[in-house]
Structure 1
């Protein structure tokens, strides 16, 4: 944005300091005038006395005119000194006070040029400038992490989308070079690849929708959403020989019913497909807290390291040591959950269970 040139903040503060000092000096001199000179009469009459020859005359008593003539030059000199002192002192003091802004400006320019690794890190005790610098450093750290996450997401998404397209091209090339190949098998394989590409595209669209918060909020009950997701995935759990246990209280919150149902469905689905081969269990619970409501999904399974659990919410981080051969998904399940939860001003917590498996808790603001 083009702006007209103006005075610097340092010069404005200098003029403010000097002006304030001048006003204080004028007020002080006005007080002297009011409480001193106003009581001096304009003329002082001294009656004549008969004195012997050689005796000095009556003493000189200054009247108001004489005091004004003596007072005015001193006033002007004092005001001139105050003006010079105020300008010089104000310039030095303003420069000292605004010194932290130069560091903040430098960091801002570096960030504007694309360098997000620079930090201000102002020293000294806490004040307004240091609070601003600390806030800016925190913003830069979050922005750097977000940009890095977006870069990884773009790279992984490109790789994931390129894979089904490459497979499709390979199948078509083989079919073109071998006209006698069974078209039925080719169609089936193309259908599977195309279905996976569609699922990935829909997951990316859902993730983008959640990031943009493009949804209508309404009153929903997490316990009903958990029950709906559990009933939908119950046949899959029975197929894997798992048991699903549900419990909890009514947990009212506000948000999108469809997106929160997607959260519950993704969590329960992950708990089913990343479980023990047989005899595993999935626990689905809802909790009511003073200001929040929580939805927790736990499952049995292999022991997980804290490092692996910390990476599961990143897009396309499937956790290969937990993956089964079927229902593997597109690697966006927990990433979608995280995005939807953040869009609802909630928190997502993943904790490895001591006996193996994973515990995932979604905490959302309680509905008023």
Structure 2
């Protein structure tokens, strides 16, 4: 067993035009002062990094790492959530995702958008390799999400064709991550075709159980779907290479439930909360991750409709520190002796 690394902070929800959140150089000391040891980098945000340059330049990657090292921080993973979403977008909702794209591509064709997104993922694979990272976070995108509820009746073969196309788009990307020695971790998330265990299994089958097709585990998205988020760890532990530590609560009522009635985040029965303010049993989660020898970082992703982000970030670092289990190097009953292997003694005990 190994002790989980952390805490780390996902920077995506914090970067903006207001100091100190406007540049990596200025947010880094703030992150460190909050109590974090690492940062998960949104690769699409120029306030954090130049992805194309990181893919080609060891010197630039050393500069990024050096900027963070001055404050006792490291890069834990790169995120391509925004770009991954654009690998597969149903035409019916293409306009909703225009803000995910650089301005020149907002009027581009679907195929041009997909080419851009694929190129971004390939850059992130090379950048991750240069930075010495072993995992990267992304979204799968969605071709089938508008048909997630089986009404009207879905034609035979529709779901199979959707996942076959998803696999055609992602297999070359996964191969590039294999070449780079980096696990590509899909965040299991509503709005994506990979939104629960069953849909991840369909994708895994479609990509031939690709060794780099991995999972970013975020229990908040499972709770809001009313999945058993602890059993999910038992089932998919071998594919889980990353995690987001994010809390949530689900309080259904007589007016709305899982679907939320088109209400905003503050009014929905299911909503994200800052760490410790929701219903998720993180004690059990960290116990299972320690038991299953989870190889990654405990990364706080702050998303809460109620609490201030800076307060949530500070509380989150302390929360993760309390939950990380420093794993034992020996059995608690080793002091009595007799645990070493002795085949002759074993046969005597069995009466042989």
Structures share fold, TM-score greater than 0.5: no
Specify which structure has the higher proportion of helix. Answer: 1
CA radius of gyration, larger in: 1
Normalised by the length of structure 2, the TM-score is 0.21
Higher relative contact order (CA 8 A, sep 6+): 2
